[in-house]
Amino acid sequence: MSQAVSEPRTSSVGATSAYADGKEVLVEVTNLKKYFPIKSGILFQREVAAVKAVDGVSFKVYKGETLGLVGESGCGKSTTGRTILQLYRPTSGSVKYRGQEITNLKGESLRRMRREMQMIFQDPYASLNPRMSVGRIVAEPLVVHNIGTKKEREERVAELLEMVGLNPYFVRRYPHEFSGGQRQRIGLARSLALNPSFIVADEPISALDVSIQAQVVNLLQRLQEELGLTYLFIAHDLSMVRHLCDRVAVMYLGKIVEIAESEELYTNPLHPYTQALLSAVPVPDPAVEEKRQRIILKGDVPSPINPPKGCNFNTRCPVSIDVCFETEPELVEVLPGHWVACHRVI
């Protein structure tokens, strides 16, 4: 296993500098937690437990990059994205956008900040109001933020629909008249209406046919180049993440277990959970696929209501040792730009 650097630099994941390694830090997440309370008793007044959906997550998103966030269903990926955008208020921790703390923003200040940060939702069928025409859906952010006259909004909607590859004459149609891929393009047009810099894409292709997924991914890449966008791309399709993302963060049971540049992570995974995930990705070369060893994890993911003591992965880890059941590993930079939270690595 690789050796750690001379001193752990966990805190530098959430450093407050505007630049890191010569790159501008656009979004900075430090020790972010989101717990959902479980209440019981008369009128559900007493909190008896909490679902630890996000439990101390730290990472940076650099301007102009695509950071992939991957992991099993239920690991907290979507909750992380929504909490960063303040759609869920965090239980504790810090989220900074261009160096400004946004977890304490309210009212008009938060509304102004949301012009810079938008979201593409996972389900293109549930995220669009079926009673609103496409024109009204795409124009809604402009109306909410009181931008432009009616004519200017109509022109902007037509421009946005063309930008995502849809006919501007569709403005009077309704969501049920469109396919899943077209609906996701409508949702993308809506998210671009306010010229944001940062977009959280919450599994934007998982509900689409395979033939349509590549079209949407190519569209996202083209728009990123043309508009200078920065993405947090949440997904569980690891082959797509490798194609699309500059860096990848691996999440397990509410925590980040590994972060590295995409090629580095796929060619040199260090955390046992990352190794198991990547071993399940098919390889197109039959000779390589035949010789490759598949890692089968035993047991189920523990409950986020009562996670294990020590490392969250210790109940399923094939190489766990005594310290894994006692002490939680820190996220440490073991190679340049490669962070791992594992006692067996550090």
Quick one: which H or E segment has residue 55?
A: strand 46-62
Structure tokens at 306: 């009562």
14 Cα distance to chain centroid: 17
Task: State which H helix or E strand residue 261 sits in.
Answer: strand 255-261
pLDDT recorded at residue 339: 96
Cα separation, 310 vs 124, whole angstroms: 39
CA dist list (Å): 294 to 25, 59, 79, 255, 276: 37, 29, 30, 24, 7
- DSSP tag of 46: E
Helix (H) or strand (E) holding 235: strand 230-235
Classify strands 92-97 and 66-70 as parallel, antiparallel or unpaired.
Answer: unpaired
Joined tokens for residue 105:
């923003």
Farthest-apart Cα atoms in the chain, separation = 67
Q: Give the separation between CA 37 and CA 62, rounded to whole angstroms.
A: 33
Residue located via tokens 């630099």: 9
pTM, two decimals, is: 0.88
* Structural contact between residues 57 and 256, judged by C-beta atoms closer than 8 angstroms: yes
In this model, does residue 5 exceed pLDDT 60?
A: no
What percent of the chain stands above pLDDT 70? 91
Could you report the per-residue pLDDT of 286-335, keeping only the tens digit for each? 766 666 777 878 888 899 999 999 999 999 999 999 999 999 999 999 99
Q: Residue 328: what pLDDT?
A: 94
Integer angstrom CA distances of residue 309 from 91, 323, 326: 21, 10, 6
**Tens digit of pLDDT for each residue in 47-88?**
888 999 999 999 999 999 999 999 988 899 999 999 999 999
CB atoms within 10 A of CB 295: 14
Query: Does 234 score more than 60 pLDDT?
Result: yes
Tell me the two tokens of residue 312: 């969250």
- Interval 137-169: pLDDT, tens: 999 999 999 999 999 999 999 999 999 999 999
Work out the number of other CB atoms within 10 angstroms of the CB of residue 39: 12
Provide mean pLDDT across the span 190-218: 88
Please, what is the average pLDDT of the chain? 87
Per-residue pLDDT, 300: 85
pLDDT of 243 above 50: yes
Domains of the chain: 26-116+196-296 (3.40.50.300)
Give, rounded to a whole angstrom, the gap between the first and last alpha carbons of the chain. 8
Cα dist from 10 to 28, 59, 256, 332, whole Å: 14, 10, 12, 5
Which of 93-97, 99-103, 190-194, 203-207 is the least confident region? Answer: 203-207
